[in-house]
């Protein structure tokens, strides 16, 4: 129905919407709620998509009624958008309508008429421990970026970092003597995460060798690109996928898969769910609980494969 341009490097407050309330809303998300640029970009895209649809109904984001909004959500379902996508769009709409209410534009009656679809909770993809070891061992020893790539893979698995968290990690966030890092997560929430011996050794090796060669000018960031610039999320995803393919992992493997592995392997090893929640930086423990289902699914699969009456 509507297509989006590549906006990876776009200012999240730079919307094509001419509606002043949209710009005010995005500024509110940045200044009052402290959302990350990636989250604000997601809200912006969702509102721009809804605005495109409403324009065809001679309505705007501000004067649309509950029927217009329900028709928009029905159109998303007709387009066979995933239930999670529809739920995310609805959450954005609700948040925007609440913002309008705070600005003196009544929207409670509209919000009361908007029902969320039952969310689908597909289990996250998780690699086995042997597969993770293969992935971490995939970088070519002869490559000038060998130490950096090993350190990145070790850190993603040892700390369960989001892609943006690893890219934003600063030298001042590292405490390798203690074996812990400070992470600034979603909503600017800070957490301390242990990194373990293997990751500590890999990062130490990278800092003492490869990073000194990559740094063309002083940078506070831990991980740099081959040109000495900030390593961005897109190149990080490409790095992980490339090494996954090189070691024979044919299914899609990206940085978030290693975050899933971190959580699932901790829980299967006996870690407390609340501890894993803290380490992941989840504000709601129900988000963390999905990893308990992953472990149960793995155990069922093993039972079916190896039990004589499976």
Q: Is 28 a catalytic residue?
A: no
- Identify the active-site residue in 44, 259, 260, 265: 259
Residue 210 to residues 93, 174, 213, 294: CA-CA distances in angstroms? 46, 17, 5, 37
Place of tokens 């600063």: 170
110: left (phi over 0), alpha (psi -120 to 50) or beta: alpha
Which of 23, 70, 111, 186 does the annotation list as catalytic?
A: 186
In whole angstroms, give the CA distance from residue 28 to residue 39: 13
Closest-CA residue to 221 (of 165, 273, 296, 279) = 165
Q: How far apart are the C-alpha atoms of 31 and 203, rounded to whole Å?
A: 34
CB under 8 Å to 120, separation ≥6 — which residues? 82, 83, 84
**267 and 277 Cβ atoms separated by less than 8 Å:** no
| Residue 282 a catalytic site member | yes
The tokens of 248 are what?
Answer: 């024979």
SS3 144: coil
238 is catalytic: no
Active site residue 256: yes
Find, among 304, 276, 303, the residue nearest to 290 by Cα: 276
- Distance set, CA 71 to CA 38, 192, 197 (Å): 28, 45, 55
Task: Name the active-site residue from 148, 162, 211, 260.
Answer: 162
Other residues' Cβ atoms within 10 Å of the Cβ of residue 127: 21
Catalytic option among 23, 134, 282, 298: 282
Residue 182: beta bridge partners? 192
Given 10, 182, 256, 298, which residue is catalytic?
Answer: 256
Q: How far apart are CA 36 and CA 112, in angstroms?
A: 29
Helix (H, G, I), strand (E, B) or coil at 132: helix
Which residues are catalytic, by number?
162, 186, 256, 259, 282, 291
């Amino acid at each position: 129905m509507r297509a989006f341009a590549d906006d990876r490097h776009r200012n999240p407050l730079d919307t094509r919407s001419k509606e002043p309330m949209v710009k005010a809303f995005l500024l509110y998300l940045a200044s009052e709620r402290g959302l990350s640029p990636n989250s604000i970009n997601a809200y912006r895209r969702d509102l721009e998509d809804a605005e495109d649809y409403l324009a065809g109904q001679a309505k705007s984001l501000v004067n649309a009624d509950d029927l217009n909004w329900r028709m928009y959500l029905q159109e998303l379902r007709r387009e066979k958008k995933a239930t999670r996508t529809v739920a995310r769009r609805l959450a954005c709409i609700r948040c925007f309508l609440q913002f309008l209410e705070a600005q003196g534009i009544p929207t409670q009656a509209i919000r009361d008429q908007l029902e969320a679809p039952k969310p689908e909770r597909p289990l996250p993809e998780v690699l086995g421990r042997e597969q993770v070891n293969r992935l971490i061992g995939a970088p070519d020893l002869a490559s000038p970026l060998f130490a950096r790539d090993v350190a990145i893979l070790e850190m993603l698995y040892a700390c369960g970092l989001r892609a943006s968290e690893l890219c934003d990690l600063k030298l001042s966030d590292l405490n390798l003597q203690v074996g812990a890092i400070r992470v600034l997560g979603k909503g600017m929430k800070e957490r301390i995460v242990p990194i373990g011996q293997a990751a500590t050794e890999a990062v130490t090796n990278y800092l003492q060798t490869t990073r000194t060669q990559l740094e063309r000018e002083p940078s506070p960031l831990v991980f740099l690109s081959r040109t000495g610039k900030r390593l961005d999320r897109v190149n990080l995803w490409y790095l992980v996928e490339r090494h996954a393919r090189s070691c024979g992992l044919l299914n899609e493997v990206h940085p978030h898969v290693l975050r899933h592995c971190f959580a699932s392997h901790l829980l299967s090893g006996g870690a407390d769910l609340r501890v894993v929640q803290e380490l992941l930086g989840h504000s709601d423990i129900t988000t963390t609980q999905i990893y308990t289902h992953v472990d149960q699914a793995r155990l069922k699969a093993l039972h079916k494969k190896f039990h004589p009456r499976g």
